[in-house]
Structures are given as C-alpha cells and as structure tokens.
Amino acid sequence: MYDIIVVGAGPAGLTAAIYARRAEKSVLVIEKSTFGGQVTYSPQIENYPGFISMSGNEFADKMVEQAINLGAEIEMQTVEAVETDGDIKKVITDGGEFTAKAVIIAVGVRHRQTGLQNENSLVGKGISYCATCDGAFYRNRTVAVLGGGNSALQEAVLLSALCKKVYVIQNLDFLTGETKLINKVNEKENIEIITGTILDGITGSDALDYITLKNVETGETSNLSVDGLFVAIGLVPDNERFSGVAKLNDGGYFDSNESCLTATPGIYAAGDCRDKKVRQIATAVSDGAVAALAACSYIDNSL
C-alpha cells in the first residue's frame, strides 16, 4: 500500500513524485517506456526558467535522479487500468496490481505522427513537433509545417519570425484554422502555403535532407529541400483506459478542476493529459506540484 501512485514519469509525474516525497508520503511512479515523455524529443530546452540551455534527456535525467534521491520508487510497467475499492485505489498493470490512497495520472499525450519511414530516426535531427520548443534552432533556415489547422498555423507564424522561409503543407484545398489566424499567415511574406498536397516521404540519414510531396489531384510528386519539418497534425491523448474513474471531455482529455481533481475523489490528472490551453514543460511541472499537494491534503484530511 502506497500513499500515492503516480502514473507516468514525464515532467508532471516526476514533479508530483518530488512534492509528494517532500511531504513524506510513500510514492510509486509507474512508467511504461521513457522517463521524461515528450520532452526527450527536444535536443535543447531554452525556455525553462533557471536554465539557459539543456537537452530534453538531461532535464529528464535530473528529475528522475531527484525523485529517486528523495525516496520515490519506480516501476517500469504499463498501466492498464485504475479502479476504486472504497477509499483504496487499485492500479492494474501488465505486471501486477498496486494499491494506494491516491493516484495521480500524468500520462501526457503523444503527437500524431506521419507514419512515414525515417520519421522516428530523424526526430531531433530535422523533425520536430513543437515550434515553441525547437524553433530557435532553425533561425534563418528553411522549414516546413505539416498541417492546416490552428496548431499548424500558429507554428508557422511563430517560425516566420525566426526562419528565412516557411512552407505550410495542407492536404486539403483550404486551410482549416480560424479566419483571423489564416489572415495572419497570409500577411507573412516568408510563408508559402501549399494546399491539396500530402507528405509522401522523408529523406535523410544523420539529418533531414528533403521531403517528398504528392499532389492529391494529379498524383505528381516533387522533392522540397528543407532544414526542418514541424509536424502539427494533432495530439492524441491515451486516456480511455482511465475513463471508469476519470471523466473525459469530447477530445479525450481529463476533465479536472484547479486542483487537478478528476470526477473521483483521490484521483488526480496532471500535465498534458488533462484539458488545458497551454501544454509546455512549465505548465506540466505546475500541474504536478498542484496535484501532489492536493493529493497529500486529501490523504491527511479525508482518510
């Protein structure tokens, strides 16, 4: 029996573990794959307060080290479900079952990928999923943004202030973002919009060399030389397995209040997996702290 089980070892989950241990609660962190989550995709972080620059892996390693030094336990398993049995929470994994007084779900989200060959091997070497995180590394260079919705257009506008040239590649014949945002994109002289076109290939070994585009109507293909490709075709939450204890909104994100509390007392959601407007490392860390303190208060005052 643990006081708190944290599901996920990204910035939100690790921060929750750190705060919970400092409150002298027993803590188990369960992670299925990579410590740090999406942050490990970033070759450098330059927007986290207090650090001029560090790699995503370095940031993740420091957080894991801090949590372990404080006494948090870590298990590498896949959580399949969370259930409640009165005041006791059961966390069911592919390796067994754990119990706790409170659970913090911090499973993050994953960026929807293109599924093309070479994509994973070139992440951080020309392929990115976050202009806010990585845009500065392409200053005065040529990049492409894949997507035509609000997220893609926001990425393009941000990149236009840094890059020499920005291509926006949209599979439809029109952009699907808000009119105001489309107008802003059209005002940028260094943004070129390519509609009715899909991404058909990604080429590069140690770095991205070029991308292959395919016209939807004609089937004609062409190569476009770019230094970077920003994939902005949506985020994918993986929260359905927790829907029995935590209400999801229409987008599949957790509904939670300012204390990160879900629909079930003692179960909290922290980080990118919950409904929110801004998804950055700083906001994930904030959620982790808030959720941990709320869980500690729940344990101290309600059980």
- Domains, in order of start, for the chain: 2-110+235-302 (3.50.50.60), 113-231 (3.50.50.60)
- Selected catalytic residue, list 3, 94, 130, 238: 130
For residues 127 and 209, give the distance between their C-alpha atoms in angstroms, rounded to a whole number.
11
Q: In this structure, are residues 127 and 229 in contact, taking their beta carbons and an 8 Å threshold?
A: yes
- Tell me whether residue 130 is one of the annotated catalytic residues: yes
Average pLDDT, the chain: 94
Dist. CA 20–CA 251, nearest whole Å:
30
Total length of the chain: 303
Give the C-alpha separation, 230 to 145, whole Å.
5
* Residue 275: active-site member: no
- What whole-number distance in Å separates Cα of residue 90 and Cα of residue 109? 23
pTM of the model: 0.78
Identity (one letter) of the amino acid at 76?
Answer: M
Beta-ladder partners of 96: 93
Check 61, 94, 133, 260 and give the catalytic one. 133
Q: Which helix (H) or strand (E) holds 159?
A: helix 150-160
Determine what percent of the chain is predicted with pLDDT higher than 70.
Answer: 99
Among 3, 61, 94, 134, the one annotated catalytic: 134
CA-CA distance, 55 to 40, in Å (whole number)? 8
User: pLDDT tens across 108-160, in order?
Assistant: 998 889 999 999 999 999 999 989 889 999 999 999 999 999 889 989 999 99
Examine the pLDDT at 220 and tell me if it is beyond 90.
Answer: yes
